[in-house]
Chains A and B, each alone.
Chain A
Amino acid sequence: MSRIVFENVTYEYRTGESPAVEDIDCEIDSGSFIGIAGPSDAGKSTFCRLVPGYIPHYFDGALDGRTVVGGADIADASIGDLAGQVGMLFENPFDQLTGASTTVLEEVAFGLENLGLGREEIVDRSIESLRRVGIEELIDRNPQRLSGGQSQRVALASVLAMQPDVLVLDEPTSQLDPHGAEAVFDIVANMKSRGYTVIVVSQRLDRLAPHLDRLLVMDDGRIAHDGPPAEVLTEPGIEALVDVPEAVRVGTRLREEGYVDPDDPVALSVEAAISELRPHVETPAADGGTTRQTKPEPGVDESPIDFENVRFEYEGGVEALSGISLSMDAGCVCLVGQNGAGKTTFVKHLNGLLDPTGGAVRIEGTDTRDARVAQLAHHVGLAFQNPNDQLFHESVEAEIRYGPTNLGYDEDRIEEASERAIERLELDDVREDNPYDLGMPRRKLVAVASVLAMDTPIVVLDEPTGGQDAPGIELLGTAVEELVAAGTLVVIITHDVEFARRHADRVIALGAGEVLLDGTPREVFGRAETLAETDVDPPVITRIGARLGLSKTVLSIDGLFDRVD
């Protein structure tokens, strides 16, 4: 069995200015399930890379101390040899696939061919691994043409085929939509019962925490908190480092206000939080749907965004939008819905990247068919999901100035708009840095800043919180609120219902190319059944309220505790 021991490990990348991890002293028991959380650049990935020996064998830098897996120093074995003991799943599944397989079977078998196993065993093991992650039916599919969630499971099957007994997963769901994340998460949660030692890095502790034996929270290269999740998540100062699950917040509040014995360990799961709350909540005769769907008001000509019976059909006849009529006037509008619901197609209509095949889109009065994308960019700034598609300058500052310069603003306005964007997303300390030297969360903020700097009356953000750490989400939330206060119309496409709950003035749920729901967050999140049609779960706190049978839809902990007595 593979007990993992870190003995005073300090590591500094060759390109780094300070150690990525410092004085890591920690033991992980065989068969335990460990979560690692903390802000980006806290050293979580570096910690992970030590276990399968990527450090020191692949990355270049200075290592002090020892990492011992299963009694042997990782420095003495090669990455290929360690792969039979430790498997690691990367954040982005597309980078983990070999890129040289025409079928999923070849992909999973790749490592086994290198081990020189017999042909029958290769096939048997590959099929067994695919079965284990529940995707045996994908065996003859082209790995390049799978969804994110499917790819991540193929990548996991490829790792499992090597038969490791330790699994390290570095943010395995941050690039996936909730549906894909859920599928991957269910498998991971089962790994422990199969005898694996599992180490998972994740920002989203909601689903993870109830399964963990132990939670490590890293900050600035060190392990700042270490213990059972119920303890760690209630320690003072933890809020600044991780996104504390709603269930824990509810539990903490119940203890603070004396409803539950403060010595009882806090509940980690939503179920447990509900049973703690139930005795203290008066449940009126549950009449469920007291909220109604508001009809969108008919488009006024002055609306900055006006969709008039918009249809869009891709070549080949797939209808992505089937008759959408709505207008957006002000505030923060969040668009939710499953992949394939038409969100991205919708967004591409906002600046003329796509022209409707039926109906009309008007942006500040201009029909998008009459203007070029570059002209519409004066009205709409759009930040896409993947910052790597967008960034190409040598410094953050140059990157941010690129948009306003393209729009032909004078130097004063470029200066002012860029500086404001830098300040809003707290990028002052890295303005000279190359965006690609920053971690993914920070790089994503640069991409958002580079769009805010365009100083447009409409700002559209596609999945801004995906893969973001807790402080980053906070920062984005504040930026959105400031923009709205300054009169900017902000449209956000998101799977993150918690973000929508906190910041949206209006939520639109799209499903199968149509508007399913359109109203305030309270109205929309109160209709769980309709949301389920497009694979969206209401926020945790709203679900807790609904499960308790509260007549009014709850959107915040305060709102929930108004009903507690």
Chain B
Amino acid sequence: MTGSMNAERDVETLIEGADGSDTLFEYQPGSSLLHRLNPVTKLVCSVGLVLIVFLLPDFRGPLLLSIALFALVAAAGAARSVGTVLVAVGAPLALSLILIQGLFYPENESILVAIGVPVIDQLVFYVEGVEFALLILFRLTVLMIALLGTIITTHPKKMTIALMEKGVSNKIAYVFMAALQFIPQMQERAQSILVAQQARGLDTSATLRQRVRSYIALMSPLLIGTLIATETRALALESRGFTRSGERTYLLEVRDTGFGRALRWLTALAVFAVAGWVIA
């Protein structure tokens, strides 16, 4: 072991504590239960929970799960980012769902509330429609919290290592990592292309036709540049043994505990149980 950095812990701290990309979906360091779970366990449980809520026929189950999951995510210190996304996506979704389903759901029978409105007399919201809207809403809420919670409490490097250790190809793992880095890079380059084209007299604030033209002028160099970079990058990866067969090792150790394994089996069991109960 070297002098300045010996313990395994140090490498882990170094990687997890490094500066990120400052996005909402970024990994947030921590040591909560969620943080310590094996990433694959988190993925399996997330998928399991999503399956379960889509099987459940009534909105109360998904509602309870949403609350429980949010508490778990909040305990991991991710309440703010997850909450922000939930409000930003969930609020408009809730409004439109309740409006449309509450008024027009085909199986509407029992009146929940009738609001007097001039011109069209009154708006009638039905119980069946509103309950259906809530069912869809909380199914989606569970999906968002589970996936966001997983992403925010899992360092991408650990995610890829965990996946590769479970037999996922290193190419797929690479694509996952690269995709995360890709968006901010593309934004930066799009900005410099925009500037270069404006300098050549491209008018971006003119008629629709000109705007379509400017779109081409912006997208083409972006795509061509990406393709060139991709080719060189493929070579760079190759030269670092990326396509080499044989055993790989990983910079970090991602632990998989008995508890995690039990949790995965439990999730699978729960999915089957719910499926059986719904069908029966």
**Chain A contact residues, CB within 8 Å of chain B:** 52, 54, 58, 78-81, 83, 87-88, 90, 92, 94-103, 105-106, 109-120, 122-124, 127-128, 136, 139-142, 144-145, 158-159, 162, 348, 351, 353, 372-374, 377-378, 380-384, 386, 388-392, 402-403, 406-407, 436, 450-451, 454
Cβ B174 vs Cβ A388 within 8 A: no
B11 part of interface (Cβ distance < 8 Å): yes
In the complex, what residues of B have CB within 8 A of residue A99's CB? 178, 181-182, 185, 233
Cβ B236 vs Cβ A102 within 8 A: no
Cβ B201 vs Cβ A454 within 8 A: yes
Among the stretches B67-75, B112-120, B136-144, B220-228, the one at the interface with A is B220-228
Cβ B228 vs Cβ A105 within 8 A: no
With A80-B244, A111-B241 as given contacts, are A392 and B221 in contact (CB-CB < 8 Å)? yes
Cβ A80 vs Cβ B243 within 8 A: yes
In the complex, what residues of A have CB within 8 A of residue B11's CB? 105, 123
The one of B232, B242, B251 that contacts A109, using a Cβ cutoff of 8 Å = B251
B272 part of interface (Cβ distance < 8 Å): no
Q: How far is the CA of A109 from the CA of B12 in the complex (A)?
A: 13
Q: How far is the CA of A450 from the CA of B185 in the complex (A)?
A: 26
The contact sample of 28 A-B pairs, CB cut-off 8 A, is A80-B239, A87-B239, A95-B232, A98-B236, A100-B177, A100-B178, A101-B157, A102-B157, A103-B15, A111-B239, A113-B249, A114-B248, A115-B241, A122-B251, A123-B2, A127-B2, A140-B18, A144-B185, A158-B240, A374-B203, A377-B198, A378-B201, A381-B199, A386-B196, A388-B228, A390-B200, A403-B201, A451-B199
With A103-B14, A406-B200 as given contacts, are A95 and B236 in contact (CB-CB < 8 Å)? yes
In the complex, what residues of A have CB within 8 A of residue B174's CB? 98, 100
Cβ B199 vs Cβ A119 within 8 A: no
B174: nearest chain-A partner, CB-CB: A100
Cβ B198 vs Cβ A353 within 8 A: yes
Cβ B202 vs Cβ A374 within 8 A: yes
Among the stretches B37-45, B127-135, B187-195, B260-268, the one at the interface with A is B187-195
In the complex, what residues of A have CB within 8 A of residue B193's CB? 389-390
Cβ B182 vs Cβ A54 within 8 A: no
CB distance from B152 to the nearest CB of A (A): 14
B246 part of interface (Cβ distance < 8 Å): yes
In the complex, what residues of B have CB within 8 A of residue A58's CB? 234-235, 238
In the complex, what residues of A have CB within 8 A of residue B109's CB? none
Could you say which of A117, A383, A388 has the most chain B C-beta atoms within 10 Å of its C-beta?
A388
Cβ B14 vs Cβ A142 within 8 A: no
In the complex, what residues of A have CB within 8 A of residue B184's CB? 144
CB distance from B90 to the nearest CB of A (A): 29
In the complex, what residues of A have CB within 8 A of residue B197's CB? 390
Cβ A116 vs Cβ B249 within 8 A: yes
B4: nearest chain-A partner, CB-CB: A127
A57: nearest chain-B partner, CB-CB: B238
Extra contacts, 5 of them, besides A83-B239, A99-B178 (Cβ < 8 A), are: A79-B235, A98-B178, A140-B14, A372-B203, A389-B196
In the complex, what residues of B have CB within 8 A of residue A90's CB? 232, 236
A155: nearest chain-B partner, CB-CB: B236
Number of A-B contacts defined by CB within 8 Å: 206
In the complex, what residues of B have CB within 8 A of residue A87's CB? 239
Cβ B216 vs Cβ A392 within 8 A: yes
Cβ B247 vs Cβ A389 within 8 A: no
CB distance from A201 to the nearest CB of B (A): 16
With A95-B232, A140-B18 as given contacts, are A384 and B240 in contact (CB-CB < 8 Å)? no
Cβ A96 vs Cβ B199 within 8 A: no
B250: nearest chain-A partner, CB-CB: A113
B280 part of interface (Cβ distance < 8 Å): no
Q: How far is the CA of A92 from the CA of B237 in the complex (A)?
A: 15
Range class of the B interface residue count: 35 or more
Cβ A384 vs Cβ B20 within 8 A: no
In the complex, what residues of B have CB within 8 A of residue A407's CB? 201
**Chain B contact residues, CB within 8 Å of chain A:** 1-2, 4-5, 8, 11, 14-15, 17-21, 155-157, 170, 174, 177-178, 181-182, 184-185, 189, 192-193, 195-206, 216-217, 220-221, 224-225, 228-229, 232-244, 246-251, 253
Cβ A390 vs Cβ B221 within 8 A: yes
Q: How far is the CA of A116 from the CA of B18 in the complex (A)?
A: 25
Cβ B251 vs Cβ A373 within 8 A: no
The one of B192, B228, B235 that contacts A389, using a Cβ cutoff of 8 Å = B192
In the complex, what residues of B have CB within 8 A of residue A140's CB? 14-15, 17-19
A404: nearest chain-B partner, CB-CB: B201
Q: How far is the CA of A111 from the CA of B242 in the complex (A)?
A: 7
Q: How far is the CA of A106 from the CA of B250 in the complex (A)?
A: 10
A352: nearest chain-B partner, CB-CB: B198
Q: How far is the CA of A110 from the CA of B240 in the complex (A)?
A: 7
The one of A78, A118, A142, A353 that contacts B199, using a Cβ cutoff of 8 Å = A353
Q: How far is the CA of A158 from the CA of B242 in the complex (A)?
A: 13
CB distance from B121 to the nearest CB of A (A): 52
With A378-B201, A388-B225 as given contacts, are A103 and B18 in contact (CB-CB < 8 Å)? yes
CB distance from A443 to the nearest CB of B (A): 11
In the complex, what residues of B have CB within 8 A of residue A390's CB? 193, 196-197, 200, 221
Q: How far is the CA of A142 from the CA of B19 in the complex (A)?
A: 6
Q: How far is the CA of A390 from the CA of B192 in the complex (A)?
A: 9
In the complex, what residues of B have CB within 8 A of residue A391's CB? 221, 224
Q: How far is the CA of A162 from the CA of B216 in the complex (A)?
A: 42
In the complex, what residues of A have CB within 8 A of residue B181's CB? 99-102, 144
With A116-B247, A140-B18 as given contacts, are A353 and B2 in contact (CB-CB < 8 Å)? no
> Top 4 closest A-B pairs, CB basis?
A111-B240, A392-B220, A406-B201, A100-B177
In the complex, what residues of B have CB within 8 A of residue A113's CB? 248-251
In the complex, what residues of B have CB within 8 A of residue A103's CB? 14-15, 18
A58: nearest chain-B partner, CB-CB: B235
The one of B19, B221, B238 that contacts A141, using a Cβ cutoff of 8 Å = B19
The one of A96, A386, A450 that contacts B200, using a Cβ cutoff of 8 Å = A450
CB distance from B123 to the nearest CB of A (A): 46
B218: nearest chain-A partner, CB-CB: A392
Cβ A98 vs Cβ B237 within 8 A: yes
With A111-B241, A114-B242, A436-B224 as given contacts, are A377 and B200 in contact (CB-CB < 8 Å)? yes
Cβ B251 vs Cβ A114 within 8 A: no
In the complex, what residues of A have CB within 8 A of residue B21's CB? 142
In the complex, what residues of B have CB within 8 A of residue A81's CB? 244
Q: How far is the CA of A120 from the CA of B1 in the complex (A)?
A: 6
The one of A79, A92, A388 that contacts B238, using a Cβ cutoff of 8 Å = A79
A100: nearest chain-B partner, CB-CB: B177
Cβ A122 vs Cβ B249 within 8 A: yes
Could you say which of A97, A101, A373 has the most chain B C-beta atoms within 10 Å of its C-beta?
A373
Q: How far is the CA of A159 from the CA of B237 in the complex (A)?
A: 11
CB distance from B226 to the nearest CB of A (A): 10
In the complex, what residues of A have CB within 8 A of residue B237's CB? 98
In the complex, what residues of A have CB within 8 A of residue B2's CB? 123-124, 127-128
With A88-B239, A374-B202, A407-B201 as given contacts, are A116 and B248 in contact (CB-CB < 8 Å)? yes
In the complex, what residues of B have CB within 8 A of residue A111's CB? 239-241
Cβ A92 vs Cβ B225 within 8 A: no
